[in-house]
Chains A and B, each alone.
Chain A
Amino acid sequence: MTEVVVIGGGHNGLVAAAMLARGGRNVLLLEARDRWGGRCAPWEFHPGYHVPGLLHDTSTFDPRVARELRLEEQGARFCAPGKLGITDGSRHLVLTGHGSGLVQTLDAAEADAWRAWSSAVQLFQPVIRQLLNSPAPPLNPRGGGELWQLGLQGLAMRRLGRQDMLELLRILPMSVADWLEEFSLSPLLAEGLAFEAVRGGFFGPRAAGTAANLLFHHCSAGQAIAGAASALVDALVSCCRRNGAELRTDARVQRIELRNGRVAAVALDSGEKISTHAVLSCGHPQSTFLDWIDPAELTLGLEREIRCIRTRGTAAQVHLALSEQLALPAPFQDVEVIRWGRGGLEGLEQVFDGPKYGQMSAELHLEIWLPSRAIADLAPPGEEVLSIWVQSVPYRPQPDWNEQCREDVQRLVMEKLTELDPEVHGKLRAARVLTPWDLEQQWGLVGGQIFHVERTLDQSLMLRPRAALSRYATPIAGLYLGGSGCHPGGGISGMPGYLAARTILDS
Chain B
Amino acid sequence: MARRYDAVIIGGGHNGLTCAAYLARAGRRVLVLERREILGGATVTEEIYPGFKFSACSYVVSLLRPWIIRDLDLPRYGYQVLPLDATFTPFPDGGYLLRDSDPERTRRNIARLSPRDAEVYGEFGRAMGELGRLVKPLIDLPAPQPASLNPAELFKLLRLGRHFQQRGEDWVTAGLKMLTMSAVDFLSEWFESERLIAPMAVSGIIGTFLGIRSPGTAYVLLHHYMGEIDGSFRAWGLPRGGTGQIAAAIASAAQALGAEIRTESPVHQILQRRGEARGVVLEDGRELEARVVISAVDPHRTFLGMVGEQHLPEELTRQVRRYKLRGSSGKVNLALAALPEFSCLPGNGLHLRGDITIAPGIDYLERAFDDAKYGRFSRRPFMDVVIPSLSDPSVAPPGKHVMSIFVQYAPYHLAEGPEDWPRQRDAFGDAVIDTLSEYAPNLKELILHRHVLTPWDLEQTYGLTEGNIFHGELSLEQLAFLRPLPGWSRYRTPIDRLWMCASGTHPGGGIMGTPGALCAKTLLESEAV
**Within the complex, which residue of A173, A182, A350, A357 is in contact with B476, where a contact is CB–CB below 8 Å?**
A173
**Cβ contact within 8 Å between A178 and B324:** yes
Is B487 interfacial (CB-CB < 8 Å)? yes
**Cβ contact within 8 Å between A173 and B486:** no
**Cβ contact within 8 Å between A353 and B370:** yes
Contact with A along B158-196 (1 / 0, CB 8 A): 000000010011101100110111000100110000000
**Cβ contact within 8 Å between A162 and B477:** no
Q: Give the residue name and chain of the A residue nearest to B487 (CB).
A: A166
**23 A/B residue pairs, CB under 8 Å, sorted by A:** A139-B169, A158-B147, A162-B148, A162-B487, A163-B486, A165-B146, A165-B147, A166-B147, A166-B481, A169-B147, A171-B477, A172-B477, A206-B214, A208-B180, A208-B215, A308-B189, A356-B363, A356-B366, A456-B215, A457-B180, A458-B177, A463-B173, A463-B177
B413 smallest CB distance to A (angstroms): 12
CA distance A62 to B84 in the complex (A): 57
Is A77 interfacial (CB-CB < 8 Å)? no
**Cβ contact within 8 Å between B180 and A458:** yes
A293 smallest CB distance to B (angstroms): 21
CA distance A357 to B370 in the complex (A): 12
Closest 4 pairs (CB-CB, A-B): A173-B476, A166-B486, A208-B216, A457-B180
**Cβ contact within 8 Å between B487 and A349:** no
Residues of the B chain whose Cβ atoms lie less than 8 Å from the Cβ of A377 = none
B389 smallest CB distance to A (angstroms): 39
**Cβ contact within 8 Å between A209 and B180:** yes
A311 smallest CB distance to B (angstroms): 12
Residues of the A chain whose Cβ atoms lie less than 8 Å from the Cβ of B312 = none
A421 smallest CB distance to B (angstroms): 32
**Within the complex, which residue of A167, A182, A346 is in contact with B486, where a contact is CB–CB below 8 Å?**
A167
Q: Told that A163-B487, A174-B477, A346-B373 touch, could you supply 12 new A-B pairs with CB distance under 8 A?
A: A139-B176, A140-B169, A169-B146, A203-B215, A208-B475, A209-B216, A350-B374, A458-B176, A458-B180, A458-B181, A462-B176, A463-B176
- Contact A170 to B172, CB < 8 A, known contacts A165-B146, A463-B177: no
Residues of the B chain whose Cβ atoms lie less than 8 Å from the Cβ of A172 = 477
- Residues 475 to 517 of chain B near chain A (Cβ within 8 Å): 475-477, 481-482, 486-487
Q: Give the residue name and chain of the B residue nearest to A346 (CB).
A: B374
Residues of the B chain whose Cβ atoms lie less than 8 Å from the Cβ of A357 = 363, 366
**Within the complex, which residue of A163, A456, A467 is in contact with B173, where a contact is CB–CB below 8 Å?**
A467
**Cβ contact within 8 Å between A162 and B147:** yes
Is B423 interfacial (CB-CB < 8 Å)? no
CA distance A237 to B363 in the complex (A): 47
Residues of the A chain whose Cβ atoms lie less than 8 Å from the Cβ of B373 = 206, 346, 349
B146, B215, B370: most-surrounded residue (chain A CB, <10 A): B215
Residues of the A chain whose Cβ atoms lie less than 8 Å from the Cβ of B374 = 346, 350
Residues of the B chain whose Cβ atoms lie less than 8 Å from the Cβ of A206 = 214, 373
B105 smallest CB distance to A (angstroms): 27
Residues of the A chain whose Cβ atoms lie less than 8 Å from the Cβ of B169 = 139-140, 467
Q: Give the residue name and chain of the B residue nearest to A161 (CB).
A: B147
CA distance A208 to B181 in the complex (A): 9
Is A310 interfacial (CB-CB < 8 Å)? yes
Residues of the B chain whose Cβ atoms lie less than 8 Å from the Cβ of A174 = 475-477
Q: Give the residue name and chain of the B residue nearest to A358 (CB).
A: B363
A216 smallest CB distance to B (angstroms): 15
CA distance A167 to B188 in the complex (A): 32
Residues of the B chain whose Cβ atoms lie less than 8 Å from the Cβ of A139 = 169, 172-173, 176
Q: Give the residue name and chain of the A residue nearest to B482 (CB).
A: A170
Is A267 interfacial (CB-CB < 8 Å)? no
CA distance A356 to B214 in the complex (A): 11
**Cβ contact within 8 Å between A207 and B215:** yes
Contact with A along B324-365 (1 / 0, CB 8 A): 100000000000000000000000000000000000000100
Q: Sort chain A's interface into a size bin.
A: 35 or more
Residues of the A chain whose Cβ atoms lie less than 8 Å from the Cβ of B35 = none
Q: Give the residue name and chain of the B residue nearest to A209 (CB).
A: B215
Residues of the A chain whose Cβ atoms lie less than 8 Å from the Cβ of B216 = 173, 208-209
- Residues 152 to 206 of chain A near chain B (Cβ within 8 Å): 158, 162-163, 165-167, 169-174, 178, 182, 203, 206
- Residues 440 to 480 of chain B near chain A (Cβ within 8 Å): 475-477
**Cβ contact within 8 Å between B147 and A457:** no
Residues of the A chain whose Cβ atoms lie less than 8 Å from the Cβ of B146 = 165, 169
B382 smallest CB distance to A (angstroms): 16
Q: Give the residue name and chain of the A residue nearest to B176 (CB).
A: A463
Residues of the A chain whose Cβ atoms lie less than 8 Å from the Cβ of B213 = 203, 356
Q: Give the residue name and chain of the A residue nearest to B165 (CB).
A: A140
A203 smallest CB distance to B (angstroms): 7
Contact with B along A465-478 (1 / 0, CB 8 A): 00100000000000
- Residues 193 to 220 of chain B near chain A (Cβ within 8 Å): 210, 213-216
Residues of the A chain whose Cβ atoms lie less than 8 Å from the Cβ of B179 = 173
CA distance A140 to B214 in the complex (A): 28
Is B322 interfacial (CB-CB < 8 Å)? yes
- Residues 441 to 497 of chain A near chain B (Cβ within 8 Å): 456-458, 462-463, 467
A139, A171, A462: most-surrounded residue (chain B CB, <10 A): A139
Residues of the B chain whose Cβ atoms lie less than 8 Å from the Cβ of A308 = 188-189
Q: Give the residue name and chain of the A residue nearest to B214 (CB).
A: A207
Residues of the B chain whose Cβ atoms lie less than 8 Å from the Cβ of A207 = 214-215
Residues of the A chain whose Cβ atoms lie less than 8 Å from the Cβ of B487 = 162-163, 166
B281 smallest CB distance to A (angstroms): 32
**Cβ contact within 8 Å between A456 and B180:** yes
Residues of the B chain whose Cβ atoms lie less than 8 Å from the Cβ of A456 = 180-181, 215
**Within the complex, which residue of A173, A310, A349 is in contact with B475, where a contact is CB–CB below 8 Å?**
A173
Residues of the A chain whose Cβ atoms lie less than 8 Å from the Cβ of B366 = 356-357
CA distance A346 to B185 in the complex (A): 24
CA distance A203 to B481 in the complex (A): 27
CA distance A182 to B317 in the complex (A): 13
**Within the complex, which residue of B149, B210, B486 is in contact with A170, where a contact is CB–CB below 8 Å?**
B486
Residues of the A chain whose Cβ atoms lie less than 8 Å from the Cβ of B168 = 140
Residues of the B chain whose Cβ atoms lie less than 8 Å from the Cβ of A173 = 179-180, 216, 475-477
Residues of the A chain whose Cβ atoms lie less than 8 Å from the Cβ of B486 = 163, 166-167, 169-170
B475 smallest CB distance to A (angstroms): 6
CA distance A178 to B209 in the complex (A): 12
Q: Give the residue name and chain of the B residue nearest to A308 (CB).
A: B189
B165, B324, B486: most-surrounded residue (chain A CB, <10 A): B486
- Residues 339 to 368 of chain A near chain B (Cβ within 8 Å): 346, 349-350, 353, 356-357
Q: Give the residue name and chain of the A residue nearest to B374 (CB).
A: A346
Q: Give the residue name and chain of the B residue nearest to A142 (CB).
A: B169
B146, B169, B180, B363: most-surrounded residue (chain A CB, <10 A): B180
B249 smallest CB distance to A (angstroms): 37
CA distance A54 to B181 in the complex (A): 29
CA distance A4 to B181 in the complex (A): 36
A185 smallest CB distance to B (angstroms): 14
CA distance A170 to B373 in the complex (A): 23
Residues of the B chain whose Cβ atoms lie less than 8 Å from the Cβ of A209 = 180, 215-216
Residues of the B chain whose Cβ atoms lie less than 8 Å from the Cβ of A166 = 147, 481-482, 486-487
Q: Give the residue name and chain of the A residue nearest to B218 (CB).
A: A458
**Within the complex, which residue of B165, B173, B214, B322 is in contact with A208, where a contact is CB–CB below 8 Å?**
B214
B419 smallest CB distance to A (angstroms): 21
A342 smallest CB distance to B (angstroms): 13
CA distance A462 to B180 in the complex (A): 13
CA distance A506 to B170 in the complex (A): 26
**Cβ contact within 8 Å between B482 and A458:** no
CA distance A304 to B189 in the complex (A): 8
CA distance A174 to B476 in the complex (A): 7
B221 smallest CB distance to A (angstroms): 13
CA distance A457 to B180 in the complex (A): 6
Residues of the B chain whose Cβ atoms lie less than 8 Å from the Cβ of A208 = 180, 210, 214-216, 475-476
- Contact A457 to B215, CB < 8 A, known contacts A139-B173, A346-B374: yes
Q: Give the residue name and chain of the A residue nearest to B486 (CB).
A: A166
B468 smallest CB distance to A (angstroms): 15
**Cβ contact within 8 Å between B370 and A458:** no
Contact with B along A273-315 (1 / 0, CB 8 A): 0000000000000000000000000000000100010100000
